[in-house]
A and B are shown apart, each in its own frame.
Chain A
Amino acid sequence: MTRTPRRPSLSPLNPLGVLAVVLPLLTLLAGLLTDARVDDRTGPRPPATADLVRATLVCPSGAGGVLLGTDGTASGPVRVTASRDDGRDGEGEEVDLAPGRLGSLPGAATDAQVVLGEDDLAPGLFATRVGSPRLSAMDCPAPAADQWFTGVGAGATHRSVLELTNPDAGPAVASVQVLGGAGPVDAPRFQGIAVPGRGTVRLDLATLLPRRSQLALHVTSDRGRIAAAVLDTYDALGPTPASSDYLPGQAAPAPTLWLLGLPGSAGGRVLSVANPGTDAVRVTLKLVTPDSVFTPSAAQEIVVDPQTIATVDLRSVLDTKAAADAFGVQVNATGAVTASLRSTAADDLALTVPATVVSEETRLALPPGDAQLEIAGSTGVGVVQVVGWTSSGRRAFSRSVELVPGNGVSLDLPAGVQSVSLTPERTTVRAAVRVSRAGTGRGSGTTVLPLRELVRRSLVPDVAPGLPRG
């Protein structure tokens, strides 16, 4: 029997053998190299910015008048409309503004006022509501979808009124989430609060939600635009009249807060810290002085449980020698928190809320009184130009201040300065103005006004056709 020669099977010379190796390799390579992942353009696309063409500010009700101004170069009228509780269209009036010069509304305009600046007068529009009888003032906010008010009260000595104003013609609906010392407070009447078009709704917490402890309010607009402010009243229950001040809103909880502007020699100093998160946070305090930011030895760590508000008496911290030149408190938390500092001195109430970051020129109208500008929180070595203006638009004060991280500045503004502008260069800062007028009579007392960035440009969302879904 002869053995048939066996053909080489996988020899490289055999074309079939070659193919049997090459083809699978080719398939494998091509398959593994195939990468069909394409940027599908459905991811986030940041907005662009454009000049603001329409700015709305809402000044809460008060009896001390309204100061208006613009830091732009345009002049012309802005429209101011009273927003009534009953929702009926209030009478409007036009206030002429010019660069540097402030306009004003008299003290008779006690209703909440909606200030509308359009076109060239929209960017950089600012307004300050001045209250009475004691000195109180508030930088009029723009409507916001989401705001926090920490340390409001609903008791006999400390009562707060939440004022919701809808600047638009259509109805608006707001909801308020209430956090108490023991957790969220069930407040059905604070859900779905209808605010009529161009109307104001005032909610007296002492009536609607009587509580002794301090509360934090989270105001959201479910529908429509809402501007919210809290008028906080301190009543010593004695023969002296009650004192009120405005509690501005905090836009969002943050882990580090700068409460700038401390009334000197106060009788009571209560810090309220609310933790809207789901985990307990530990809060430590530092004092802000012109030279440094330091942790005072008396400061204790505060633990704030989730969804609760905690209050701390800061007198032991602030009324010490080390804290003599402190003009602010830095709140550091392990989570995002909201806070406010409530000071009472000589039956006058002053509220200090976190100052926001200022990175470019900003301006603020001030009520009459001795004003002190407190600057801190510099993020780098830089210079801040501070200019004080009289009501007619004349420069009354100009100072260039050098800042490094860790130190702050407290500047006394000369009398007659009705508005102050602050321009950080190469750094960002936080600042507030403390205005005080001596005495115990009408118009006396202290109020603190944090500076905020003026809105000059609006965000233009990236708009593109989407994949149809329905």
Chain B
Amino acid sequence: MAREGSGSSAVPGPARGPAPRFPLPRPRAVRVSGVSGVEPGTAPVQVAALDGSPAPRVGLLIVSHDGARWLPTVIDGIRAQQRPADRVVAVDTTSRDGSDALLEDAFGTVLTVPGGTGYPAAVREGLARLDDVDWVWMLHDDSTPHPEALARLLAQAAARPDAAVLGPKLREWPSLRRLLELGVTISGTGRRETGLERGEYDQGQHDEVRRVLAVNTAGMLVRRDVLDQLGGFDDQLPVFGNDLDFGWRAAAAGHTTLVVPDAVVFHAEAAHRGIRRTPLTGRHTHYQERRAALYTLLANSRGRWLPLQILRLGFGTLLRMLGFLLVRQVGQALDELAALVSVVGSPGQLLAARRARRGRSGRAGGAGGEVRGLLAPWWLPYRHGLDLLTDLADAATSQAADVAERRRLAAAERDPASFAAKRVQAQAADDELPDDSGFVVRFLTNPIEVLLTLVVLASLIGARAAFGSVAGGGLAPAPAGAGDWWSTYLASWHPLGLGTPVPAPPYLLPLALLASLLGGSAGLAVSVVLVGAVPVGLWGAWRFLRVVGRLVSPQGMPRWLLLWGAVTYALVPVTSGAYGDGRLGPVVAAALLPWLAHAALGFAEPEADRRWRAAFRAGLLLSVVTSVTPTAWFFAVVLGAVVTGLALRIVPGAIADRSAWGPPATAIALPVLLLLPWWLPALRHRAAEGLLLDAGRPPAPAPHGLDLLAGRIGDVGAPTWLGVLLAVAALAALLPRTSRIPVLVCWIAASLAAVVALVLSWVTLDLPAVSVAPGTSFLVVALQGAFVVAAVLGAQALVPLLDPTPARRGPQAPAWARTAAAVVAGVVALVPLVGLGWFVIGPDNRLGDGVDSGIPAYMEQAVDRGRVPGVLVLRGSVEDGLRFDVRRGDGVRLGDDEILDQTRVDQSFEDAVRTLVSRPSPASVAELAREGISYIVLAAPADGDVAATLDATGGLAQASAEDRRTRAWQIQRGVAEGDLTGHRSWLRLLLLLVQGAALVVVAVQCGPTRRGASGPGDADPALDPALDPALAPALDPALGRRGRRIR
């Protein structure tokens, strides 16, 4: 929101103008065999040893596999070495692209080994031919050395006689500038740590020789004898991670590994990036890497920590899997799991590897302390986790606001000469302005932010009745804990009344989740929902209106107008009376509707992927809203059909584009899938009426007539004229011509809501106990939303009229129009002010009314604690009719109402009750006893005739009641426990599993697209050498093309 003030936005891409560049020194372009290297240094390289001893013999070992695309450059690089290797041995693992021929042309005989040979085995084969050298220099077929690389490595080897392994600075190929590695180590979670930022430019910032745990085998210079002594590389690590393992073993054996930044090798990391597939990596590069990491950790870590380490890695694997799932990389998540199973599943191999390592390090003496110093610090994985979360949050928030801008950018991209493009450029220039003042100063000097804060505070004060335990009106008391909600939601049979298979209402799932997050307190969850409705709605409305304003006009809406609209809308849950009457349905729907609408704006995104993300977000939100106010779904269907129809009429070609109509269709279809465990069993168990009923106790207030238009649900709302004012404002919004089209869109939505409400009002739902109208509270909320948006858009068009500067006002605004606009604005501005004031003063509400069950307290306790199975409660009189219900357990709690209200009462039980109160017989009492009824309560004021009848009934003993007007009897004999267990429904279990899986998939699909998730090269197009005109000539044309393809 802070960014809003400067009007800037975070939009990547070339259209924003030149991306920030590091001041790269334009190096002397030493054209070395096709690679333009940046010279590592200027001092002449001392090739010979300083002490004058004979120069060491160096054998170059290059292993290739299908590396023909890099090999010409690599070979040139080797040939250009100032200090050439004394011997070159090339090993080819049966390449199919002619790599062997290239090597043979360059270095003579090539040792060809079978295609499945791993790197360690290939090295072993090559070493067999290099028995007369002191040092072995290893190169990959995708790593090309700087001309001075070997010379500088050897110079350092001479300067540091203790060094057994030396590695160069690895830079990215083809960018050539970005650092890949300066030695590596491994973290406790098996992550390969380079200590570098991603995509860090080499500016000499890491140029000191230092001891490291390991260096990459690409460019590794290692003593021949040390290689032998350590047994070469481990065959268990055929492609990845063998360098880390080797370095660890070397360190454990007391050898020193140095990184020599003066020596530079460019590395394409072909296998790591999956450009090259070998029989060893297959498609699952990630699996191989992870397996190597786990193996390395478990094979080398200290013995006593092993079980703990396995546990930690197992848990870490689960977390990483979750992370991968969240960014929609299911394959990698599965790779993670497979790698763990593979390593831990072969304990024999692991133990053998550990034995071998123990033997070697044992001979060399303990160097554990040194090794520990070379490993990554323990906190590093947590730091990475935090970074990841920050990244995700950034991605989520930065992409939230920008539908309008992205559309404009897309338009600018299509036509760079357009007005839109110029505006985008101008805006980009504005964005450069820094924020130079602190947060507090910016907050206090911003009246809108101060006002927003005041509104939130006032809403919290207004909602004081919702703190603590609340029940009354349409709100049943919350159960003891989240566990009750979970068990109710998951159960296929509820021990309520006489036992029922009617499914739990769908909103229990989000409520239970919320309660669990809040430490398991169900009451707190209800309070949070009631108290949070206004702030959440305010935030959502602000975001939505801001984007709508920008969609309509590039300048967006003035912030005071946003404030007016957002506050007016945010107060809908309370001014409508839904809050005061404890109607969770409209309260939640009103809080989430702007978020849903905001998500739905994403259908207008220029990019297909973003449209699909919007589809899942809107679908998920629509599911939540539908779970509390099911008519929302029907309205969405109608609105979706109309809007899609209109859109297709305007753009007929869109029907061919699946990504145009697919997202809205997906969003509407998702609730059907996500709410499957609700609607399907409801249909099956003759409780279909519930599919049209709002959450809460029936009968819910059924808004009609003026109340519907003025947004009043129930009788504890704000004065109706306040709502009428808003409707009038929405009507007046049609007058300004400039905003008429968007305002008409709002009116389309409003008229559809009214028509749907009209149609629904013709329906009567006959529940067993009561006949009710379908829940239309969502339509009231939608109408209010449409009115607010229309009013705000109309006002946005009037803003120039009110501008005091005549030049900006334009010549077409006559004085009367200005006056009229000012008067309308003044009157309409009252709406949120009066609404908020009314709320703060503390209007009537039923939240504190509680629920009077009419049952004596001792009886309530007995049934709550399970000492008696159930109580039959009778209310009414002979004259007016008697109503009965059965109390079980802790009574009717939030979520139980919907189940009980839709449960058809067993006819034989109803007959037994009727017989009991008219011509009681031992049989009717026995029938009640069989159903687990211990007490019969005639709630106050008890009808004397009914009481007399029951008094005269054998088998009933009078029970006491505090209230003299209440009468109670105890059934004396044969009370069964009440067979309420019912049958477990496998269908429900299946549906719950489907819902769970669908939720995971949808949640993953909702996640923001992480930039660069598919490869480091994606992070910033400006860093792509193929796009950099300065670098392009330096690149092999073929390589340039491939470089693009890498992305």
Contact = CB atoms under 8 A, between A and B. Distances in A.
B868 to A, nearest CB: 14
B180 interface: no
Interface in A326-371: none
A321 interface: no
B704 A46 contact: no
A222 B964 CA distance: 7
A338 B964 CA distance: 25
B788 to A, nearest CB: 14
A20 interface: yes
Contacts of B944: 144-146, 220-221
Interface stretch (A25-33, A255-263, A378-386): A25-33
Most chain B beta-carbon neighbours within 10 Å: one of A30, A42, A45, A468: A468
Most chain A beta-carbon neighbours within 10 Å: one of B699, B769, B875, B897: B769
A156 interface: no
A39 to B, nearest CB: 6
Interface string A198-231: 0000000000000000000000111111000000
Given A53-B919, A460-B914, A466-B769, A34 B750 contact: no
B876 interface: yes
- Closest 6 A/B residue pairs (Cβ): A470-B853, A466-B883, A145-B944, A36-B702, A462-B881, A44-B880
A462 B772 CA distance: 20
A463 B747 CA distance: 48
Interface of A: 7, 9, 16, 19-20, 23-24, 26-28, 30-47, 50, 53-54, 56, 143-146, 167-172, 220-225, 458-470
A170 B958 contact: yes
Given A31-B758, A464-B883, A467-B883, 20 more contacts: A9-B737, A24-B731, A27-B709, A27-B754, A34-B758, A36-B757, A40-B770, A42-B699, A46-B879, A144-B944, A223-B947, A458-B918, A459-B918, A461-B882, A462-B881, A466-B769, A467-B769, A469-B854, A470-B852, A470-B885
Interface in B913-956: 913-914, 917-919, 943-948, 951-952, 954, 956
A11 to B, nearest CB: 12
A368 B249 CA distance: 127
B704 A465 contact: no
B881 A463 contact: yes
B755 A40 contact: no
B748 interface: yes
Contact of B883 (A26, A31, A465): A465
B910 A464 contact: yes
B905 interface: yes
Contacts of B886: 468
16 contacts: A20-B740, A28-B709, A34-B703, A34-B758, A34-B776, A35-B705, A36-B702, A43-B880, A459-B945, A463-B913, A464-B768, A467-B698, A468-B497, A468-B897, A469-B854, A470-B873
B376 interface: no
B525 to A, nearest CB: 21
Contacts of B772: 38, 40
Nearest to B708: A31
Given A38-B771, A44-B879, A468-B900, A31 B709 contact: yes
Interface string B700-728: 00111110110000000000000000000
A28 B706 CA distance: 9
B73 to A, nearest CB: 65
A171 B958 contact: yes
Given A224-B958, A467-B698, A470-B860, A45 B881 contact: yes
Interface string B860-885: 10000000000001011111111111
A19 B887 CA distance: 55
Nearest to B750: A27
B879 A32 contact: no
B773 interface: yes
A465 B892 contact: no
Given A30-B758, A47-B878, A19 B747 contact: yes
Given A31-B709, A34-B761, A38-B771, A145 B947 contact: yes
Most chain A beta-carbon neighbours within 10 Å: one of B731, B905, B964: B964
A36 B885 contact: no
Contacts of A172: 951
Interface string B750-772: 11011101101100100011111
Interface in B65-103: none
A465 B885 contact: yes
Interface string B100-129: 000000000000000000000000000000
A53 B952 CA distance: 13
Nearest to A469: B853
B855 interface: yes
A35 B964 CA distance: 42
Contacts of A56: 952
B988 interface: no
A36 B776 CA distance: 9
B881 A469 contact: no
B582 to A, nearest CB: 14
A38 B702 contact: yes
A443 to B, nearest CB: 36
B851 interface: yes
Contacts of A461: 876-879, 881-882, 914, 917-918, 943, 946
A219 to B, nearest CB: 12
B706 to A, nearest CB: 7
Given A54-B919, A465-B910, A36 B761 contact: yes
B744 interface: yes
Contact of A23 (B708, B750, B852, B878): B750
Most chain A beta-carbon neighbours within 10 Å: one of B772, B852, B914, B951: B951
B754 A26 contact: yes
Contacts of A221: 944, 947-948
B747 A23 contact: yes
Nearest to B496: A468
Contacts of B885: 465-470
Contact of A24 (B497, B734, B755): B734
Interface string B770-790: 111110100000010000000
A164 B485 CA distance: 53
B880 A45 contact: yes
Contacts of A466: 769, 875-876, 883-885
A470 B851 contact: yes
A20 B746 CA distance: 11
B747 to A, nearest CB: 4
B729 to A, nearest CB: 12
A169 B770 CA distance: 38
Given A44-B881, A462-B881, A470-B855, A168 B951 contact: yes
B647 interface: no
B948 A458 contact: no
A91 B243 CA distance: 108
Contacts of B697: 467
A47 B852 CA distance: 26
A171 B960 CA distance: 11
B450 interface: no
Contacts of A32: 705-706, 709
B1018 interface: no
B389 interface: no
B761 A35 contact: yes
A464 B761 contact: no
A44 B748 CA distance: 43
A34 B910 contact: no
A144 B760 CA distance: 49
B741 A16 contact: yes
Contacts of A45: 880-881
Contact of A35 (B704, B851, B879): B704
Contacts of A16: 740-741, 744
Most chain B beta-carbon neighbours within 10 Å: one of A20, A24, A224, A466: A466
Nearest to B891: A470
Contacts of A20: 734, 740, 744, 747
